[in-house]
Amino acid sequence: MLQILLERASKIEGIEQIMLSVVTTQDAAVSLYRSLGFESFGCERGALKIGDRCLDEENMVLFVKRPESK
């Protein structure tokens, strides 16, 4: 389903990239996003707090269409 969504998004004029963040402990989700072409571009320490627990989030991007150089 996510693959279909990404394919549809890539056909929308003006869409160049799709960004997301995922909790670093969610190994299955991180693997899925990487398998779909997402690349990591940073980690936000303590980005999410649930109760007394702070969780890190990995920021990821999928370049749908790279802008042309001028």
Dist CA 44 CA 51 (whole Å): 18
pLDDT tens string 10-67: 889 999 999 999 999 999 999 999 999 999 999 999 999 999 999 999 999 999 876 5
CATH superfamily, with its number, for domain 2-8+15-63: Gcn5-related N-acetyltransferase (GNAT) (3.40.630.30)
- pTM for the full predicted model: 0.85
